[in-house]
């Protein structure tokens, strides 16, 4: 397993299961299931995140609605045909059940990858600066995940200078956000978007100020023990 590719996409989530596990797909005879987990913010608001987990990991666990799931993994993307159109889907792909852990932040992600669309910078009516980024993160077997990210304030201003192809490192949390989409003349549909809310961001030529291994100490320790199972890949 390429250790660099194993370091560039790390997630830790801990939250309440809010939907039953449903079969999603099978790879090399291994079944994978999907469920939703609500992860609380400090404000008390919850992010409801899509989770993908293999039957191998859940076979001995009681992962029912209302139970807590604490796990390490990666934030991954895939294309799905919806209403005849290809849509980018996002999921937290679980690689390791955490069990009891001293790691306090229930929603953390570290990524390193490449800017693959020009950043979109804007200001709100209250002059809050925001920038939307799409980051391509390399994965084993010549695959890539395309992760939408949002930056605020100083990070948003910094993002204005980024160009397609620039390599960056970032840390933050995965958030869910509802939005309205107009369907036809009168119907409005409520949809959910998922993105990384950036807390820390740097270009890779200044990565000496951004230690990927230190950003998520609990995840780094698991990776160093070699407990991720590389035999199961989406």
User: What pLDDT, on the 0 to 100 scale, is given for residue 118?
Assistant: 97
Mean pLDDT of the chain: 85
Domain-wise residue ranges, the chain: 3-224
Taking Cα atoms as reference points, which of 22, 109, 10, 11 lies closest to residue 63?
22
Q: What is the DSSP letter of 154?
A: H
CB 12 within 8 A of CB 98: yes
In which band, very low, low, confident or very high, does the pLDDT at 100 lie, cut at 50, 70 and 90?
Answer: low
In which band, very low, low, confident or very high, does the pLDDT at 232 lie, cut at 50, 70 and 90?
Answer: very low
- CA–chain centroid gap for 155, Å, is 19
- CA–chain centroid gap for 100, Å, is 22
User: What pLDDT, on the 0 to 100 scale, is given for residue 80?
Assistant: 83
Domain 3-224: CATH superfamily, name plus number: Nucleic acid-binding proteins (2.40.50.140)
In which band, very low, low, confident or very high, does the pLDDT at 233 lie, cut at 50, 70 and 90?
Answer: very low
The pLDDT of residue 216 is above 90: no
Residue 100: Cβ within 10 Å count: 5
In which band, very low, low, confident or very high, does the pLDDT at 62 lie, cut at 50, 70 and 90?
Answer: confident
Beta strand pairing call for 120-123 and 22-27: unpaired
Beta strand pairing call for 46-54 and 85-97: parallel
The pLDDT of residue 17 is above 90: yes
């Amino acid at each position: 397993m390429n250790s660099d590719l194993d370091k560039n996409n790390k997630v830790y989530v801990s939250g309440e299961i809010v939907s039953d596990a449903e079969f999603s797909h099978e790879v090399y005879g291994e079944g994978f299931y999907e469920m939703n987990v609500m992860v609380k913010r400090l404000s008390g608001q919850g992010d409801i995140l899509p989770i993908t987990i293999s039957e191998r990991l859940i076979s001995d666990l009681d992962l029912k609605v209302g139970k807590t799931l604490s796990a390490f993994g990666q934030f991954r993307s895939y294309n799905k045909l919806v209403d005849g159109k290809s849509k980018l889907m996002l999921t937290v792909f679980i690689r390791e059940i955490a069990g009891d852990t001293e790691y306090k932040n229930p929603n953390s992600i570290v990524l390193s990858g490449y800017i693959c669309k020009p950043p979109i910078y804007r200001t709100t009516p209250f002059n809050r600066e925001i920038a939307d980024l799409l980051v391509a993160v390399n994965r084993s077997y010549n695959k890539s995940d395309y992760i939408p990210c949002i930056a605020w304030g100083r990070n948003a201003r910094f993002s204005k200078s980024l160009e397609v192809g620039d390599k960056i490192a970032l840390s933050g949390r995965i958030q869910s956000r509802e939005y309205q989409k107009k369907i036809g003349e009168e119907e409005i549909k409520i949809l959910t978007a998922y993105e990384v809310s950036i807390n820390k961001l740097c270009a890779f030529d200044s990565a000496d100020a951004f230690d990927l291994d230190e950003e998520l100490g609990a995840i780094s320790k698991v990776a160093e023990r070699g407990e991720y199972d590389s035999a199961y890949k989406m």
